[in-house]
Amino acid sequence: MKNRSLILLLLLLFLTSCGYIPLYSSKENRLNISVENYEGDNDINFELISKLRTHKNLNTEEFKIKIKTDYKKTDLSKDITGKIQDYELTISSTFEVNYSDTTRNFTVKETFTMKNLEDDFEERNYEKTIKENLANSIYQKLMIQMLKFE
């Protein structure tokens, strides 16, 4: 019992004083981002803009972004009676980023296969949730590209 307590105490001491810090734990913003223009699907654009507006660091040079999104919902498969069984949701976002007299364009494309639901209300809610998740994925990929930009 003493050995177990001693090992637990030593393990606790080593883990708390090892200096481990999660990479994205600090809330400091390294980027200053402003959205100049956006066009395309409003739901996806508002999701992206709300995430990008959290990046305001007035001590750094500003990234100016133009967003263009394209959302498509296409029939993927039908059953024998002609009723749609699966949809393919595709979001393509093009970003034009201006930073210190340099312009770069990024295109991010996300797809998802969605089953057709019997209840239209549930299907719309599910589709909205999928759009939010895909917009979050696009935002994360954009942030990776922005951090490479510096």
112: domain CATH number? 3.30.160.150
In terms of average pLDDT, the best of 3-7, 56-60, 99-103, 123-127 is 123-127
53 contacts 96 by C-beta, under 8 angstroms: no
Q: Is it the case that residue 103 has pLDDT exceeding 80?
A: yes
> Terminus-to-terminus CA distance in the chain, angstroms?
54
The domain in which residue 82 lies consists of 30-149
Give the residue from 64, 61, 146 showing the smallest Cα distance to 98.
64
DSSP 62-73: EEEEEEEEEEEE
Is residue 50 included in any domain, yes or no?
A: yes
Q: Is it the case that residue 26 has pLDDT exceeding 60?
A: no
Q: How many domains, the chain?
A: 1
Is residue 63 included in any domain, yes or no?
A: yes
Tokens 């024998």 sit at which residue? 80
pLDDT of residue 8: 79
Q: Is it the case that residue 130 has pLDDT exceeding 70?
A: yes
Q: How confident is the model at residue 6 (pLDDT cuts 50, 70, 90)?
A: confident
Where in the chain does DSSP place strands (E)? 32-39, 62-78, 84-99, 102-115
On whether the pTM is more than 0.75, the answer is yes
